[in-house]
Amino acid sequence: MRNLSFKWCKWDKRYFIAALITLICSIICGIILYKFVSINIYFNNYAKDYIYYIFNFKNSKILISHFLSELFYFYIFFLIGYFTKFKYVTLLFIFLRGLYFSVYTAILIGFNAFGGVTVAVLVFIPISLISIFLCCVITDCCKIVNKKYVFFLPLILAAVNTFVLLVMVNVVFRVIIVIV
């Protein structure tokens, strides 16, 4: 059976299964922690600002912060995956990303009614899952890239992920909101 195998990259199936289990556990923990974190003003302000910027065509603040955070995480995953043999350490970062992802999703859905549910389902959840998947790909497949260009891999993937966010907000989200 050739699940998770490509000609150019030999994937570590145990790592991806461990990452998936870690992500599921962190999502469960984030949903449980939702009640404790919902009183924190930072999380509430972030959720309200996120919804406001998406609905009011002010994408620059979201795109810049998203690009910088993705660049930071992608380089962390890249440095651990490329320079060490301890790629399972990245599961800790996957757990943290999944925890924040699920807490923000619960706050978006819980506090902000229809607008929060719409933003969470159409923009936030797909972009976050794509980002976590790209982190796993960077960790597992960064050693096969040409050594000249390997240090630009996280930068390129962060730009691609930000472009996907831009498309999700300005094309998919806008079209669905206009239709509804």
pLDDT tens string 106-146 = 888 887 778 888 888 999 999 999 999 999 888 888 878 77
pLDDT tier at 8 (50, 70, 90 boundaries)? low
Measured distance CA(36)–CA(160) in Å, rounded: 34
Cα torsion at 28, 31, 34, 35 (round to 10°)?
A: -100
Q: Is 8 exposed, middle or buried (0-12, 13-18, 19+ CB in 10 A)?
A: exposed
- Structure tokens given for 48: 């309200």
pLDDT of 130: 94
Measured distance CA(118)–CA(173) in Å, rounded: 8
Could you tell me which of 88, 172, 92, 96 has the C-alpha nearest to residue 127?
172
Cβ-contact 38, 107 below 8 angstroms: yes
pLDDT of 9: 64
Which residues on adjacent β-strands are paired with residue 5?
Answer: 10
What mean pLDDT value characterizes the chain? 86
In angstroms and rounded to an integer, the radius of gyration of the C-alpha atoms of the chain is 17
